[in-house]
Amino acid sequence: MKDAPLVYGNMEVKKECIVGCLKGEYNAQRELYDLLLPYLNALCGRYLKDTSHRQDILQETFILIFNRIEQYDEQKGEFHSWASRIAINLSLKHNRRSKAEFYTPIESETTMLGVSPEAIDRLSNEELMRFLRTMPPKYYEVFNLFIIDGFTHEEIAGILQIKIDLSRKRLFRARAWLQEKPKSLNAILGDYRFSIS
C-alpha cells in the first residue's frame, strides 16, 4: 500500500488505519468506525424503505467491513466506495426481504406553480429526500445510485442484478418523473414559487 491517505470529502481513511484493522487492532477499528459512521448512516437512510432498521443495517455493515477488510483492493477503488457498497447491498437486501412500501404519494390540491432557485435552496435535505422518496421505488434506487452516489450503470446493474440498459431506462424515467412533479414538490414547499427544468 502507498503512504498517501484515502480521501472522500472530509473523510480521510489512513492506510495505517486499514492495516491496523487487518491486524484486528481495536484502536484502528474504532477510528475507522468513527470516520465512516456518519457517511454510512446517511447512506443507509437514503436506501432503506423503513429507516427504523437503520441501526441494525449499520451494525451488519460494520461487521462485514471488519470481517472482510482483507477483500478491499485499493486498485479497484477508494475505501469509502467499497464500504458504501456493503451498506447499499445490505439496505437493498433488507428492502427486498421486508417488502415494505418505499414511497407514499403526496396528495396535492396545489396548482402547478413556477419554482424559483431560491425555493430549492430553502429545501432541507430531509424535505428533498422526502420528495425523492415519492418516486417509484425502482426509479429511486437507480437515481440514488447514479446521481447521488456516483455509480456507473455497469456498477448499478451489478448491485441491483439488472441489465445495464434497464438501469439507463430507469434513470431516464426517474428524470422524466422529476420533470412532471412540480405539483408534488409544491405540496412540500408550500407557497414558494418555482419551476423544475
Quote the percentage of the chain above a pLDDT of 90: 40
Final residue of a structural domain among 66, 98, 130: 98
What is the average pLDDT score of the chain?
78
- pLDDT given at position 102: 46
Q: Is the pLDDT of residue 193 over 70?
A: no
- 85, 44 in Cβ contact below 8 A? no
The count of structural domains within the chain is: 2
Which residue stretches of the chain are H helix?
15-22, 26-47, 54-67, 79-98, 117-122, 125-132, 137-143, 153-160, 164-179, 182-189
pLDDT in tens, 3-13: 344 444 456 78
121 in the same domain as 45: no
In this predicted structure, what is the pLDDT of residue 164?
94
For range 172-188, the mean pLDDT: 74
- Assess whether 88 and 125 both reside in one domain: no
Torsion angle of the four alpha carbons 177, 183, 184, 187, in this order, in degrees rounded to the nearest 10: 170
- Which among 70, 98, 126 is the end of a domain? 98
Domain with residue 160: its CATH number is 1.10.10.10
Q: Are residues 78 and 158 in the same domain?
A: no
17 and 50 share a domain?
yes
Residues 31 and 87 in one domain: yes
CATH of the domain at 54: 1.10.1740.10
pLDDT of residue 116: 45
Residue 190, pLDDT score: 52
pLDDT confidence bin for 61, thresholds 50/70/90? very high
| Structural domain that includes position 76 | 6-98
> What's the rounded mean pLDDT across residues 24-29?
94
Q: Within this chain, do residues 94 and 122 fall inside the same structural domain, yes or no?
A: no
* Whole-number pLDDT of residue 98: 78
pTM: 0.67
DSSP 115: B
- CA 14-15-21 angle, to 5 degrees, is 95
